[in-house]
């Protein structure tokens, strides 16, 4: 997949089908949209182009954005895996937001042929979201491109959306999140030095820092799979099982800062500076305050045993 950073970088002479969206999480609803894009592009004899944004449009238009479900590198990796030919990571600013739908479509057509535009009934783009399906259908007839309409994906009677996934994550409902994503939920962060308290307890942990605010599941203890190394964030070179603690560490009254720390099974090495992918497999229990450190360590022993049981390969 070719990655560009402005719609004006699209090659001249290109015939393409386009979809516009943030695609945070690349969940099942997004996958249906991308599948319609790639199939539509093939049918039209064109390349498939995704226009996504960085930063999130809400950060510019409303002053804040929701925590992301996957960082940009992971989002691009999923789009490449789904067969997209070109992804434009457009810098979103007020000037870009002020374009009318017509201005934007004429801009991307300069020296190129837009053959198809993928939209859902809820899609809208351009200034004040003027480019809804009905308005763009009229523009398509005038400017000579086809509308590829996609119905939304539902699960248990509700739309599959990034907002819904975030809500389920905050409640720690990982099995439902997995159903909406079509895969286990994961985050990618950089391992940074901590207070080394875990090492003193016999459980050295990797503490993760995130470049942008990420959506994390509810506080608690989780069985996880971790990986790092390589060029593909979805296929790390090094892989291990582990147990993760997410929360404020109430036993030590650490001041309320939420921390994700991972004890990596069967590994003894320096991970500082490593970009680590953490896949949440199962929530083992909620966060709890212990009255003594030995009581905490005994519980950590039980958590580790339970995580190993959960993550053990199942006999066929």
* pLDDT tens digits, one per residue of 25-77: 999 999 999 999 999 999 999 999 999 998 888 988 888 889 999 989 999 99
pLDDT at residue 288 is higher than 90:
no
Query: 56 CB contacts (<8 Å, ≥6 apart)?
Result: 22, 24, 65, 66, 68, 92
Instruction: Delineate the domains of the chain, giving CATH numbers in brackets.
Output: 2-155 (3.40.50.620), 185-311 (2.40.30.30)
pTM: 0.89
Mean of the per-residue pLDDT values for the chain?
91
pLDDT at residue 196 is higher than 80:
no
* pLDDT tens digits, one per residue of 83-108: 999 999 999 999 999 999 999 999 99
pLDDT at residue 165 is higher than 70:
yes
């Amino acid at each position: 997949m070719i990655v560009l950073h402005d719609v004006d970088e699209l090659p001249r002479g290109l015939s393409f089908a386009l979809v516009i969206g943030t695609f945070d999480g690349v969940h099942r609803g997004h996958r249906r949209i991308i599948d319609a894009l790639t199939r539509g592009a093939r049918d039209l004899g064109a390349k498939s182009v995704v226009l996504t944004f960085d930063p999130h449009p809400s950060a510019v238009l409303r002053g804040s954005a929701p925590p992301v479900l996957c960082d940009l590198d992971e989002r691009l990796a999923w789009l490449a895996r789904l067969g997209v030919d070109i992804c434009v990571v457009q810098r979103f600013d007020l000037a870009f937001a002020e374009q009318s739908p017509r201005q934007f479509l004429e801009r991307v057509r300069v020296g190129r042929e837009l053959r198809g535009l993928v939209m859902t009934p809820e899609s809208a783009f351009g200034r004040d979201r003027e480019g809804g399906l009905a308005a763009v259908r009229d523009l398509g007839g005038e400017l000579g491109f086809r509308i590829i309409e996609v119905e939304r994906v539902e699960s248990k009677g509700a739309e599959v959306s990034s907002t819904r996934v975030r809500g389920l994550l905050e409640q720690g409902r990982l099995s439902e999140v997995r159903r909406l994503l079509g895969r286990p939920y994961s985050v990618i962060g950089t391992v940074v030095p901590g207070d080394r308290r875990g090492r003193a307890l016999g459980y050295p942990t990797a503490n993760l820092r995130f470049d942008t605010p990420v959506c994390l599941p509810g506080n608690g203890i989780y069985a996880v799979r971790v990986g790092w190394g390589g060029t593909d964030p979805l296929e790390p070179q090094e892989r291990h099982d582990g147990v993760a603690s997410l929360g404020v560490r109430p036993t030590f009254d650490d001041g309320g800062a939420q921390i994700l720390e991972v004890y990596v099974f069967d590994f003894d090495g320096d991970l500082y500076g490593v970009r680590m992918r953490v896949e949440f497999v199962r929530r083992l229990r909620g966060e709890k305050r212990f009255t003594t450190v030995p009581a905490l360590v005994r519980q950590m022993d039980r958590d580790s045993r339970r995580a190993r049981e959960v993550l053990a390969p199942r006999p066929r």
